[in-house]
Each structure stands twice: as structure tokens, then as C-alpha cells.
Amino acid sequence: MVSPALELLNSVVGSDLDWEDGWFAEYRLPSLVNFLGYIHAQEVYEGLKKILDRLLSTEDQKLKSVLLASTVFSLARVSGELNTEDSVSLLKTAIPYLNVGSDEGQALKNLAEHFHRFNEPQGVKDILTNGLTDEIPEVETKCLELLQKHDPEFVNEWQVQKATADTQTEESS
């Protein structure tokens, strides 16, 4: 089942989808990627890395918006279960392109914990500094908690900037 699923995803990433009739791509493909994230096998890991790499290099912004987040989160899950860290740099590269909703807070916290587990505090910082926590305060809290050990100065600066911004917002209201 894994091989055909990865083949399908690879064929989608390498094709020109007709987004006019794209309900399958927009709603079913992310579910397929999420499903693969629960299969902790080397084949899935390698396949998701390949798909993520191809997504990062595609010009198709719609395809990126549909599949990137689910691919990042699934790859991090499989990587963590297999205890393999060679995808960390690829995952960090994807962060600026992530477009996540408030319902993906747990997945973002898991990604931050993944970076923490493999001693990559820059990945956790990237989650914070790319605006991914703006609408999800519990993710911001988790990231700051994880960074406290690695870079307490960054955490203090972040909190001061946040307090200053909150004060300015209150004063202008």
C-alpha cells in the first residue's frame, strides 16, 4: 500500500493539476500524506523526503499550499519514530513556506519538539520568527519553553519584544 501511495503523490507533484476540478487534490491528498505519517517505515521516510524536496522546488504555489504542511508534519512524525535526524535541515527549509491554521497547533508543537529532540534550536526559532505562532499562542509558549535551555537570551528578548508590542497595541486602542 505504501509504494502505490508514494507513487501517486510523486505523480501529482510532477504534474500539472487541473485545480478547477481539484477537490480530490485539495481534500484527499493531504489525508493520504497524513495517513503515511503513521506508517513508521524507512520507505515512507525516504518517500516523504523526496516529495518534500520536490514540493520545495516547485513553482506551483497551489500545490505547495495543499501538500506542504501535511508533508512536513508527516515527515517529522516518521523521522521521530525512526529516530533519524537527516531530514532536519530539509524540514527547516520548509518552515518559511508553511501556511498553517489554528487547528494545526499540535502538529506545530510536535515539529518544535522534533527540532528540540535533535538539538536543532534554530528550527524552533524559525517556527517563532516566521509567524507560525501568531494565531496559536500555545505553540509560542511551547517553543519558548523548548528554547529556554538552548538560548535563554533569545527567549528573554522575545518576551520583551512581545510585551512591548502588546503595550503599544493597548495604548493605540
Q: Could you state, in order of their start, the residue ranges of all structural domains in the chain?
A: 1-90, 100-173
Residues 6+ apart with CB under 8 A from 99: 65, 68, 69
Cα angle: 96, vertex 6, 100; to 5 degrees: 25
Determine the pLDDT at residue 169: 66
- pLDDT tens across 53-109, in order? 999 999 888 889 889 999 999 999 999 999 999 999 999 999 999 989 888 999 999
Q: Is the pLDDT of residue 139 over 80?
A: yes
The H-assigned helical ranges of the chain are 2-13, 23, 29-36, 42-57, 61-82, 88-94, 105-117, 121-129, 137-150, 152-172
Share of the chain above pLDDT 70, in %: 92
